[in-house]
């Protein structure tokens, strides 16, 4: 049994296999997930588990050099945006239209689905290196 970090075997494996510039999506329960992209469905009920809890766990295990958010989060969920920004000090944040965000998920190693129902609770994490 793992001593620390993510204990979900699928998520742990994806993070361990990521290289520089690979992307991983942490999503709300409504984001469409492309058929060709690995789905790691952690959702149990609407609202559980929370997007931020999953994001914090991923950030503890993954080196991130950039994050991408839907521009619509600024207007529709500003409190969530502020919490996300607080978790990503010194990390570049890019904003793109939600329509483009959905297209960009096609390039991800996996989409981690939460039970979150807050609008635009989605993020694309671009992996970095720790050396």
Binding residues for substrate: 28, 98, 120-122
CB environment 64-88: b (16+ within 10 A), e (fewer): bebbbbbebbeeebeebbeebeeeb
Helix (H, G, I), strand (E, B) or coil at 105: helix
Tokens of 91: 């990390």
Q: Which of 7, 16, 20, 74 is catalytic?
A: 20
Which residues does the annotation place in the binding site?
A: 28, 98, 120-122
* 20 carries an active-site annotation: yes
Q: Which residues touch 35 (CB under 8 Å, ≥6 apart)?
A: none
Give catalytic residue positions. 20
């Amino acid at each position: 049994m793992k001593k620390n970090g993510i204990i979900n075997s699928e998520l742990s494996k994806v993070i361990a296999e990521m290289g520089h510039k690979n992307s991983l999506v942490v999503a709300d329960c409504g984001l469409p997930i492309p058929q060709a992209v690995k789905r790691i469905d952690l959702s149990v009920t609407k609202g559980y588990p929370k997007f931020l809890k999953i994001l914090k766990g991923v950030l503890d295990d993954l080196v991130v050099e950039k994050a991408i958010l839907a521009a619509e989060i600024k207007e529709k969920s500003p409190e969530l945006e502020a919490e996300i920004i607080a978790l990503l000090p010194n990390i570049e944040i890019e904003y793109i239209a939600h329509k483009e965000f959905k297209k960009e998920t096609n390039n991800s190693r996996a989409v981690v689905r939460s039970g979150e129902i807050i609008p635009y609770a989605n993020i694309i994490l671009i992996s970095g290196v720790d050396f």
